[in-house]
Amino acid sequence: MAFSIRASWRENYKQWLAARIPAQNRSTLHRRNIYILPTANGMMYLFAAGLVFVAAINYAVSLAFGLAFLMVSVFILAILHTFNNLNQLILLGKFSPAVYCEEQAAFKVELSRLPAKKHEAIELSFEQGLVTHADLIDQDRVVVDVFVKADRRGEFRAPFLRITTYFPLGLCRAWSFVDLDMYCLVYPKPVVFSMNQFNTGSSGNDDSAIIKDGSEDYYGLREYVPGDSLRQVAWKNLARGQSMHVKQLVDYVDSKIWLDWDMFYGFSTEERLSRLCYCVLKLSKSNNAFGLKLPGVEIAPDTGPDHKIKLLRTLALFGG
Amino acid sequence: MDINYQIPRSALIWVLVSVVIVLIPQTIRMPIWVTVIAAICILWRLLISQGKLNYPGRKIRIVVVLFTLIFSISQIRSIGIGLDSAVSLLALGFVFKLIEMRYKRDIYVVLSLCFVMSMVSFLYSQGIVTSAYIAMTVIIILCAMIACNRSSLILEAESTVKLAMKITFQALPLTIVLFMLFPRIAPLWAVPTQNNASGTGVSDEMSPGDISQLVRTSGLAFRVQFEEEVSLPNELLYWRGLVLDDYDGETWRRSRSRSAYGNAAAFGNFRFNWEGRMETNGIPLRYNVIMEPTQQPWIYGLHLAEPISSGIFLSRNFEMFNNGLISQRLSYDVASYIENQTDLFLTSSPRRNNIEIPAQGNERSLQFARELRAAVDTDREYALAVLNYFATNQYFYTLNPGLLGENRIDDFLFNTMEGFCEHYASAFAYLMRAVDIPARVVVGYQGAEYNPFENYMMVYQYNAHAWNEVWLEGEGWVRFDPTGAVSPTRIELGAEAALRDDPAFLDDFLFTAMRLGGMGWINTLRLRFDALEYEWNRRVVNYNEEVQFELLEELIGDVTESKAVLFLLIATALVMLGVGVAVIRVDRSAQRDPVVNLYVSIGKELEKIDLPRKRGEGPLHYRDRVIAERPELAEIMSELTELYVQLSYRSRTVDNLQRNQTRQLKAMLNQLRFKLSPLAKISGKV
């Protein structure tokens, strides 16, 4: 019950934030989007100031009053300085590299400052993400990675970026939320499986050429299995007194491999995509040309890194 | 996330420094072994941070808790629940927390306690040195806080210290406003200010040797400032403390028992009708006294003092008492009717008290007194004859008199013939009482040092003195000082002059500034520092409800509660606005590049020879124009412009080359200035 109230409150808060925070690639922090509250440490400090004040009253010690007031004034200065540490900080969302689903997406954020300003001990994080620290003291700009777990395939929109600081005294915490309108492409999570389960060729060879990474004109031997074509028996080896082997060639397989949606009949969409993703990664390490067939999409076989990315992209955005 | 809560190494060092700085002033008040434990804990924490020792285990922690418990019980049993035991306990808890300090939260517990501990110092002293020390402590604690929050990569302490000082100074205006305007509240509950220190200064008993002991110390007793410019000669500066009228043959005492002083209820006894016993028709001298803490209730003033400040009472012998022991510096205002007389008529009971002497002993003195009294007509003449006897015979004024035997007065008068003021006062009073003249001993201070820098007087412990008051028919109580008869220098020039050559004088303080009184600049420095201390006391330490009320009255007229609060709020808001703007404002001039600034000042230099840079003129055009007008500047202008253009198109990050180039540009600007100065003069003449 309590939890649900909390959750709904949280939901409302998020909506309120969303309505308040414009999505823009470049954001400057200023008094309208910086929030500030004392920390628990700050409360403790104020409690100590209160103790000093009570002692000053009871012992009628003038300078203890002075100390109590100095402590309170320093606290107020801490509010100003902490605020000032975020004030006028400029944030810019940069291109963020694609990741596989369930990995940490690294959103690149550039922080820059006005020439007269310094920003120290800035913490950047997404909700439930890791905290990244940044300083802007000597440099004018700095690019940092802010990580968050990419939990969905497709175009992953960065949640609100939270910028927090406790600097200089740690008595207050100033924070701000910005939406830098950052996206990151999330490929399906590759799922490893044994590729022996299917054949891409039509040779009747139960071994798959796909596994045999390496040169295009692969050449090797394997034990003869009854039923193998006699044409492929390595007679020369046999003549040398070795056991019966069969010559194995990759070239005989059709070098244009098709990764087909239907190869994973019986799997769910995401499971199929994950496996296809794995295939793409595997195959791209060989020099074989391969293509992709998805319902409604067909990409002709090709090789090279661009091709790989094109395929991964297609997988990432499929159905979305 | 976890890394956030760890303690950076540099922060830890700052925290330990803060703890040490905070504890140092307390070490004199804490039992020595508390200090030792504190040192061990600090060292332990340092070794933990270096990985050489571990955090205390559970067993050690239990032992520590038990130990502290036993300690506090034993402290309370031995010295009571006083400030000193509380300080030791606080210090112990504080250093124990230190060794189990793991996270940032623990640091803040320790640092908050640091503030409370430094406040404790103010309970003992509010002097300028203490205050400066606490200010330094605050800055160091802030350094620790900053180091806690900044990236651990920033190791150099300089920027941390700078920032801490900046914050402190920015906090000062607000502190001052709050200090002056925040309503001072009366104590919520009575706190026993028993801090186990024995009383200092003049005591309410006088045995031979007591005052000479006091005179050896160089501490300050009180400072006095007169309302009007008066220059009282030293021989009039008798700061009356207590009247001792009970003599047992060895010791002079106040007839009241000592225990009654600290008890505020007992002061009821002091409030009696004394108006009939004194004349107050003269013009009083008004002055303010700031007294150092003595842990005694009595205070000092010139003859016939009438307290003006509240909380001060007059006794039947016209002594003044504060309501409570003086454990803090005390400031009070007094009016003294120095020419007026008291007790023109002495009733029988005080007369009886003031002629009592022990029934036995000192036969020779009695004999001497009777003979001398018979030789003169009046009591006054008799008193003067005794003074004359002291002056004309070989009596010595010394801090180290010979020991006295059973019949003290006899022994002193006719054997040793050397003594300090208490010997003379004691003998004089005895000789008076021997012939039934009421006489008593007064203890207090005599003389003062004038501080010209703030126009006030300083009275030191070595000014401690004892003299007599003799009741004469028609004159009341009259002051006689037998010491003056023996050593006129003591009274006219002060204790320093009279005792300068006495090796015992101030021998506890071989290197005190007093000793160096002959060295002009050190003496000036001492007086200046004391003047500063005095002002500090008057304006800051003694700022209380009354002064605040007066200030408010001056500022806003009629003081009502709502008006005062409103005034406080407005003043605070104004100051906060000012400070806020100063902190948050983005400085536009600093925003400009230093290189651009340099180039702008080059244009300003050339303005002197009527060649200012036009608005929007490019550096290359400007160069050409200047060279066309002033060919002699061709070389320097081209070099300058070349450098500037190079620097303008550099990347934003500053490297060494750019730093060099900027420096070069600066040098050239100076060169240009040098070249231009004769030119400018010429063009000025033209």
A238 contact B CB<8A: no
The nearest CA of chain A is from the CA of B104 a distance in Å of: 9
The CA-based angle B507-B513-B514, given to 5 degrees, is 60
- The model's pLDDT over B572-584, given as tens digits with 9 standing for 90+, comes to 999 989 988 888 8
pLDDT the model gives residue A254: 52
B158 contact A CB<8A: no
- In 3D, which of B509, B535, B342 has the Cα closest to residue B438? B342
pLDDT band at A163 (very low <50, low <70, confident <90, very high): very high
**Best interface-test mutation with B: which of A80, A127, A144, A147 has the largest number of B CBs within 10 A?**
A80
Distance CA B163, CA B160 (A): 5
Q: Which residue of B has its CA nearest to A47?
A: B112
pLDDT the model gives residue B406: 78
Query: What residue ranges do the domains of chain A occupy?
Result: 14-186, 188-204+254-320
A70 contact B CB<8A: yes
pLDDT band at B167 (very low <50, low <70, confident <90, very high): very high
pLDDT band at B654 (very low <50, low <70, confident <90, very high): low
Asked if B112 and A64 come within 8 Å (Cβ–Cβ), the reply is no
Asked if A52 and B544 come within 8 Å (Cβ–Cβ), the reply is no
pLDDT band at A195 (very low <50, low <70, confident <90, very high): low
Spatial CB neighbours of B14, under 8 Å, sequence gap ≥ 6:
B140, B143, B144, B147, B148, B160
| B192 phi/psi in degrees, rounded to 5 | -70, 115
Task: Give contacts of B115 with chain A, Cβ < 8 Å.
Answer: 45, 48-49, 52, 67, 71
Query: Element (H or E) spanning B441, and its range?
Result: strand B439-446
**Best interface-test mutation with A: which of B108, B131, B137 has the largest number of A CBs within 10 A?**
B108
pLDDT the model gives residue A207: 42
Q: Is the pLDDT of residue A2 over 60?
A: no
Most confident of the following: A34-48, B86-100, B348-362, B667-681 = A34-48
Write the residue in A62, A64, A123 that is nearest to B542 by C-beta. A62
pLDDT the model gives residue B46: 85
**Best interface-test mutation with A: which of B5, B94, B118, B119 has the largest number of A CBs within 10 A?**
B119
The nearest CA of chain B is from the CA of A253 a distance in Å of: 53
Average pLDDT over chain B, rounded to an integer: 79
Q: Tell me which of A82-96, B306-320, B511-525 is least confident.
A: B511-525
Write the residue in A64, A73, A78 that is nearest to B119 by C-beta. A64
Q: Is the pLDDT of residue B529 over 60?
A: yes
pLDDT band at B82 (very low <50, low <70, confident <90, very high): low
pTM value is: 0.70
The nearest CA of chain B is from the CA of A123 a distance in Å of: 10
Average pLDDT of the segment spanning A269-288 = 84
Q: Is the pLDDT of residue B173 over 90?
A: yes
pLDDT band at B169 (very low <50, low <70, confident <90, very high): very high
Distance of CA B115 to the CA centre of its chain: 20
Average pLDDT of the segment spanning B205-228 = 79
**Best interface-test mutation with B: which of A61, A71, A74 has the largest number of B CBs within 10 A?**
A74
pLDDT the model gives residue B199: 60
pLDDT the model gives residue B141: 94
Q: At A93, which amino acid appears? A: G
- The model's pLDDT over B455-469, given as tens digits with 9 standing for 90+, comes to 888 888 888 888 999
Write the residue in B149, B172, B584 that is nearest to A87 by C-beta. B584
The nearest CA of chain B is from the CA of A70 a distance in Å of: 5
A23 contact B CB<8A: no
Average pLDDT of the segment spanning A105-116 = 87
Q: Is the pLDDT of residue B557 over 90?
A: no
Query: Which residue bears the tokens 């040195």?
Result: B129
Spatial CB neighbours of A231, under 8 Å, sequence gap ≥ 6:
none
Asked if B540 and A62 come within 8 Å (Cβ–Cβ), the reply is yes
Q: Is the pLDDT of residue A300 over 70?
A: yes
The nearest CA of chain B is from the CA of A281 a distance in Å of: 34
- The model's pLDDT over B407-419, given as tens digits with 9 standing for 90+, comes to 888 888 888 888 8
Q: Which one is predicted more confidently, B154 or B458?
A: B458
Average pLDDT of the segment spanning A197-204 = 43
Task: Give contacts of A114 with chain B, Cβ < 8 Å.
Answer: 586, 591
Exposed / middle / buried, residue A206 (Cβ in 10 Å: 0-12, 13-18, 19+): exposed
Average pLDDT of the segment spanning A105-115 = 87
Q: Is the pLDDT of residue A202 over 60?
A: no
Asked if A58 and B118 come within 8 Å (Cβ–Cβ), the reply is no
- In 3D, which of B291, B285, B275 has the Cα closest to residue B308? B285
Average pLDDT of the segment spanning B420-446 = 89
- The model's pLDDT over A41-91, given as tens digits with 9 standing for 90+, comes to 999 999 999 999 998 888 888 899 999 999 999 999 999 999 999 988 899
Asked if A48 and B590 come within 8 Å (Cβ–Cβ), the reply is no
pLDDT the model gives residue B164: 92
Give the single-character DSSP code of B284. Answer: P
Asked if B540 and A63 come within 8 Å (Cβ–Cβ), the reply is yes
Phi-psi region of A116 (alpha: psi -120 to 50; beta: other; left: phi over 0): alpha
- The model's pLDDT over B574-623, given as tens digits with 9 standing for 90+, comes to 998 998 888 887 655 555 567 777 777 788 778 877 788 877 777 888 88
Q: Which residue of B has its CA nearest to A132?
A: B1
Task: Give contacts of B122 with chain A, Cβ < 8 Å.
Answer: 61, 63-64, 67
pLDDT band at A316 (very low <50, low <70, confident <90, very high): confident
Average pLDDT of the segment spanning B278-301 = 82
Query: Element (H or E) spanning B418, and its range?
Result: strand B418-419
Task: Give contacts of B126 with chain A, Cβ < 8 Å.
Answer: 61-63
Query: What residue ranges do the domains of chain B occupy?
Result: 2-155, 205-357+440-525, 589-685
- Which chain A residues in 31-50 lie under 8 Å from chain B, judged by CB atoms? 40-41, 44-45, 47-49
Q: Which residue of A has its CA nearest to B127?
A: A63
Of all residues in chain B, the percent with pLDDT exceeding 70 is 84
pLDDT band at A211 (very low <50, low <70, confident <90, very high): very low
Average pLDDT of the segment spanning A17-28 = 80
The nearest CA of chain A is from the CA of B186 a distance in Å of: 6
Q: Tell me which of A171-180, B7-16, B651-660 is least confident.
A: B651-660
> Do residues B355 and B438 make contact, with C-beta atoms less than 8 angstroms apart?
yes
Asked if B167 and A130 come within 8 Å (Cβ–Cβ), the reply is no
Average pLDDT of the segment spanning B552-556 = 84
- In 3D, which of B114, B584, B117 has the Cα closest to residue A77? B584
The nearest CA of chain A is from the CA of B648 a distance in Å of: 15
User: Catalytic residue numbers of B?
Assistant: 421, 465, 481
- The model's pLDDT over B623-644, given as tens digits with 9 standing for 90+, comes to 888 888 888 888 888 888 888 8
Q: Which residue of B has its CA nearest to A136?
A: B151
Q: Is the pLDDT of residue B538 over 50?
A: yes
Distance CA B534, CA B528 (A): 10
B568 contact A CB<8A: no
Q: Is the pLDDT of residue A171 over 90?
A: yes
Query: Which residue bears the tokens 């207050």?
Result: A172
Average pLDDT over chain A, rounded to an integer: 81
Q: Is the pLDDT of residue B292 over 60?
A: yes
Spatial CB neighbours of B332, under 8 Å, sequence gap ≥ 6:
B288, B289, B291, B299, B307, B308, B309, B312, B322
HSE of B417 in the Cβ direction (CA atoms, 13 Å)? 10
Distance CA B466, CA B189 (A): 39
